[in-house]
Amino acid sequence: MPANPIIPGELVEVESLSAWIEQEGGGDPFASHVRLSGDEAARADFTLLELSESQVDRCAFAACCFTRASFTDVAFSGCDFSNCDFSEANFTRCTFLSCKFTGADFTEAVFYRVELRDSTASYAAFTKAKLGDVDVRSCDFSQAHVAEVRLVRAAFDDVRFVGTSFFRTSLAGVDLTRCQLADIVLSDEMGELRGCIMDLYQAAGIAQRLGVEIKD
């Protein structure tokens, strides 16, 4: 099911999220029907932010705190959220295009009807997150921590999983044939892979880890 964020045609142009919250919300972290463009912030506190029916373009938030924030019907494009804290955040009907989440923390975050395109989440942490109806394409999840994650109708296409940890994350029903898999981290029993879909080359790599000798 596609994300399809519901965003009105008329949006208020905003250059600073912090200033908008202070001036328009009286300090309460709520914003709606805005187009946030070119904002830059470092180590800012956006805890419990509620952003809805909006666009966020070309913004750079370095090591900012978005703990327990809520994003509904938001389209993100060309944004950098490196090392930001999104723990326990909620994303509903959101799209991300050409965004950067290097080292971001999504521990126990919830994603529902979310699309991620041409983006990087290398070294990001998704521990105990919940992903439902999520579509990820042409993204880099190298060295990401995708452990104890609940996946429901999650699709991955042209995703780089190099050194990625799937420890205790069931990949049953997930098609990985169009993804790059290398040195992924699994439990000793490799039960995470039970029921997933791989091509012959990928399956051979896993078999070798189990000590199986493969003849040409």
pTM of the model: 0.92
Bridge partners of 120, per DSSP, are 100, 140
The pLDDT of residue 215: 61
Buried b (16+ CB within 10 A) or exposed e, 63-89: ebbbbbbbbbbbbbbbbbbbbbbbbbb
pLDDT in the model for residue 101 = 98
Judged by DSSP in three states, 24 sits in helix
What is the per-residue pLDDT for 4?
Answer: 85
R_g of the chain computed on alpha carbons: 18
Task: Look at residue 23 in the predicted model and tell me its pLDDT.
Answer: 83
pLDDT at 213: 58
- The torsion angle over the Cα atoms of residues 129, 74, 38 and 100, rounded to 10 degrees, is 30
The whole-number mean pLDDT for each consecutive block of 10 residues of the chain, a chain of 216 residues, reads: 82 92 80 95 96 97 97 98 98 98 98 97 98 97 97 96 96 95 90 91 76 58
Give the C-alpha separation, 205 to 111, whole Å.
Answer: 31
